[in-house]
């Protein structure tokens, strides 16, 4: 009998176009869901018939409480190399395979700089002005000569640093394990203390993996240290920044603004302050949403499902 595959959270309705799913023809029945379900009970009822779930990053969490109520589930095919919202241990206990795919961080680096440019040059408002018959509204700021503070100088942060050099910016960096030698290897970034970074940076951008020790790593204390002319960028994970503290800092103009692609709750609730606060630019977690990334995600997903059906090795997701 064909296996039942569910593709979850295909917001743009493109998953079937990004890979050759016909390779599973006659072996599987594929159902695509374009909406997102947050209610656990409704989600369980939807997913019960399926043996295979294709999930996109952290869009639909699969904790133990969900996994244990899906009796037919045999394979969780996640995008990227890791997915913190899937309880891998709970899946393994029930004999459920969990696999991942390849991933490139270049798209997130590019969006980070897109948000920086949009903030400093007030691009959304200027665009709306022209479309509505108006003209210039504001005086933008330069990147040249500014100081970029990078929280987390890993794979993404180091690439962001490289671009900053091209704009003639100074780069300072901090993270819990960063050494001076490692910082200097990354295009001349200078290691500073956490306090010095938030005091000295004109733009702070966050590039850390979300974990127990990084939740809320930027809070009231750090935001109070920032210049009133400084900007904060987050294209990593929402809970790295204490949301209530950031909302207050933006409302009270304690910082100049923020560019956000990630949030504590996604999709962002309709009445959330980030949807209307004037000095924040918001994008709907699209840091990785590009054709090339999706082709990698879904192409590898098809390969993983085929390998699993045929009893061949699959790309095991990092725990």
Specify if 319 maps to a domain: no
Assign 214 a pLDDT band (cuts: 50, 70, 90).
very high
The answer to whether 305 touches 5, Cβ cutoff 8 Å, is yes
pLDDT over 90, % of the chain? 91
Same domain, residue pair 114 and 131: yes
Tens-place pLDDT, residues 15-32: 999 999 999 988 999 999
Specify if 114 maps to a domain: yes
Give yes or no: 272 in active site.
no
Same domain, residue pair 141 and 257: yes
Residue 83: partners with Cβ closer than 8 Å, 6 or more residues away: 55, 57, 58, 100, 317
- Listing DSSP states for 141-155 in one string gives ---TT-EEEEE--SH
Largest CA distance in the chain: 65
CATH number at residue 248: 3.40.50.720
CA separation for the pair 316, 319 (Å, rounded) = 9
CA separation for the pair 250, 246 (Å, rounded) = 6
Give yes or no: 190 in active site.
no
Domain count, the chain: 2
Same domain, residue pair 99 and 132: no
* pLDDT, position 126: 97
Residue 14: partners with Cβ closer than 8 Å, 6 or more residues away: 294
Cis peptide upstream of residue 267 (ω within 30 degrees of 0): yes
* pLDDT, position 188: 77
Tens-place pLDDT, residues 274-306: 999 999 999 999 999 999 999 999 999 999 999
Same domain, residue pair 91 and 130: no
Beta-bridge mates of residue 11: none
* pLDDT, position 256: 98
Specify if 129 maps to a domain: yes
Q: Is the pLDDT score of 319 beyond 90?
A: no
Name the catalytic one among 110, 190, 266, 272: 266
Tens-place pLDDT, residues 218-276: 999 999 999 999 999 999 999 999 999 999 999 999 999 999 999 999 999 999 999 99
Q: Is the pLDDT score of 317 beyond 80?
A: no
CA separation for the pair 143, 318 (Å, rounded) = 37
Beta-bridge mates of residue 316: 99
The answer to whether 271 touches 297, Cβ cutoff 8 Å, is no
Q: Is the pLDDT score of 316 beyond 80?
A: no
* pLDDT, position 315: 74
Same domain, residue pair 28 and 154: no
Give yes or no: 237 in active site.
yes
Specify if 318 maps to a domain: no
Tens-place pLDDT, residues 164-181: 999 999 999 999 999 998
Assign 318 a pLDDT band (cuts: 50, 70, 90).
low
Assign 313 a pLDDT band (cuts: 50, 70, 90).
confident
Same domain, residue pair 277 and 297: no
* Ramachandran angles phi, psi of 42, nearest 5°: -65, -35
The residue segments making up the domain with residue 300 are 3-103+290-309
Mean of the per-residue pLDDT values of the chain: 95
Q: Per 3-state DSSP, what percentage of the chain is helix, strand, and coil (rounded to 5)?
A: 35, 15, 45
Q: Which helix (H) or strand (E) holds 281?
A: strand 280-282
Same domain, residue pair 95 and 117: no
Same domain, residue pair 273 and 305: no
Same domain, residue pair 111 and 41: no
Same domain, residue pair 275 and 135: yes
Specify if 30 maps to a domain: yes
Specify if 36 maps to a domain: yes
Same domain, residue pair 153 and 168: yes
- pTM of this structure: 0.94
CA separation for the pair 178, 111 (Å, rounded) = 24
* pLDDT, position 187: 62
Specify if 316 maps to a domain: no
Name the catalytic one among 237, 243, 300, 303: 237
Specify if 317 maps to a domain: no
Same domain, residue pair 123 and 69: no
* pLDDT, position 3: 96
Tens-place pLDDT, residues 36-68: 999 999 999 999 999 999 999 889 999 999 999
């Amino acid at each position: 009998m064909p296996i039942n595959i569910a593709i979850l959270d295909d917001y743009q309705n493109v998953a079937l176009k990004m890979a050759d799913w016909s390779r599973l023809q006659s072996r599987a029945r594929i159902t695509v869901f374009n909406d997102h379900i947050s209610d656990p009970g409704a989600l369980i009822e939807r997913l019960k018939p399926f043996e295979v779930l294709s999930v996109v990053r952290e869009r639909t969490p699969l904790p133990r409480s969900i996994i244990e109520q899906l009796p037919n589930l045999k394979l969780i095919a996640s995008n990227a190399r890791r997915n913190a919202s899937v309880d891998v241990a709970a899946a393994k206990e029930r004999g459920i395979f969990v696999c991942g795919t390849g991933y490139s961080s270049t798209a997130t680096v590019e969006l980070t700089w897109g948000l920086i440019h949009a903030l400093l040059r007030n691009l959304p408002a200027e665009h709306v002005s022209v479309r509505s018959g108006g003209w210039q509204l504001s005086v933008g700021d330069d990147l040249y000569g500014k100081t970029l503070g990078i929280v987390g100088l890993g794979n993404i942060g180091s690439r962001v640093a490289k671009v900053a050099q091209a704009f003639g910016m100074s780069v300072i960096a901090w993270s819990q394990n960063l050494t001076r030698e490692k910082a200097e290897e990354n295009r001349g970034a200078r290691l500073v203390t956490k306090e010095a970074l938030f005091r000295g940076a004109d733009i702070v951008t966050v590039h850390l993996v979300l974990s127990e020790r990084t939740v809320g790593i930027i809070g009231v204390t750090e935001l109070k240290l920032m210049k009133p002319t400084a900007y904060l960028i987050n294209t990593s994970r929402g809970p790295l920044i204490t949301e209530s503290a950031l909302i207050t800092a933006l409302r009270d103009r304690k910082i100049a603004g923020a560019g956000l692609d990630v949030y504590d709750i996604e999709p962002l609730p309709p009445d959330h302050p980030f949807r209307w606060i004037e000095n924040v630019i918001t994008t709907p977690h699209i840091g990785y949403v590009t054709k090339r990334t999706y082709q990698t995600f879904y192409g590898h997903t098809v390969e993983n499902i085929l390998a699993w059906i045929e009893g061949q090795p699959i790309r095991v997701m990092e725990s």
